[in-house]
Structure 1
Amino acid sequence: MLRRLYDWTLSLAAKKSAEVWLAVIAFVESSIFLVPADVLFLPMALARPGRIWRYALIATVSSVLGGIAGWYLGHYAYEAVAKPVLAFYGKLDAFEQLKNSVDYETIVLLLITSGLAHLPPIKVVTILSGAVNINLWLFVATAIVARGARFYLLAWLLRRYGENIRHFIEKRLGLIAGLVSAALILLFVGYRLVQ
């Protein structure tokens, strides 16, 4: 099922309405959807490099708006909506443990790592942020920085290296972003130990 969903998302890049679909996928990815917007962003950017920065802006803004929707789900509709969504993805138990064990600083770190590398998945962190009542403006600022960094870095790489970098990005970007996230986590842990 996941492969069909991935293929369907990828097929949207060839449509005239691709920008609208990019906005929709980026929005729902940040609150409830499994497939990352990168799947649509990459082929669109390669097909029309003159619009690459526009696509990065669309993806960033839509992802941040979707994150806000996720925050509202966690804050105002956790029991009625967010819990069933998390249960559907098999993440409810892990989410509940995380919700009961994180502090404010850890949530901000998770927002950055999930925005950059989907570690943990962005939808989990946006809902968690609302459920534990993270300040909405701090949430928005962090989401803009993290999601903007991801999409604009992808745009820059594609603009600079074109099709040659696509396979590298598809295969190794998660690993690189994961390593950057791990470095951020280690810095955070070091900071907490020094305090």
Structure 2
Amino acid sequence: MSFNTFGRVFRFTTWGESHGPALGAVVDGCPPGLALSEGDLQPFLDKRRPGTSRFTTQRQEPDQVRILSGVFEGRTTGTPISLMIENMDQRSKDYSEVAQAYRPGHADYAYDAKYGFRDYRGGGRSSARETAARVAAAGVARLVIPEVRIRAWVEAIGGDEINPENFDANEIDRNPFFCPDAAAAMRWEALIDAARKAGSSLGAVIA
């Protein structure tokens, strides 16, 4: 299977599954001598950690990252940096019904059609859980190119778009939707609650 490795000069490969014992990434191409600790990476993982509001998955994961290699006495050595995040709250029995049916809005069918195999326990490699490893690796990348900033936000949910005149970059981290429009974020709360009660789901647009 492909698409587990990203980048060329600076690159990382993610590993692990949603319901395996752990997942992580191996970062290669990081220059030596950069100050790096688990504490440098943890804030990014805390930001994406599940179970922080009623609008995210209720899976409770501490997402504590461990650096297993590539760092000595607080500095990168220039060798591969191995990062690991343990899975602590995987409940595979909750997915027994999913073994017999594809979930709409997930990669279940596409994964099965492409590879002829799927891990129905939360989606395996196709689970959003895999992004925790990407976030940890990206934390290392921030050290290599600290002057580069990437900004993203949710532009619309269920067809309800933000008002560009209300755009406030400082608002993005103040609500569970990473929305730069405070008024839209309030509307989305009611929109998502209604969809949940109806047993439905909503699409979104990320900018």
Higher relative contact order (Cα pairs below 8 Å, separated by 6+ residues): 1
Structure in which a larger fraction of residues adopt helix:
1
TM-score (norm 1): 0.27
Structure in which a larger fraction of residues adopt strand:
2
TM-score (norm 2): 0.26
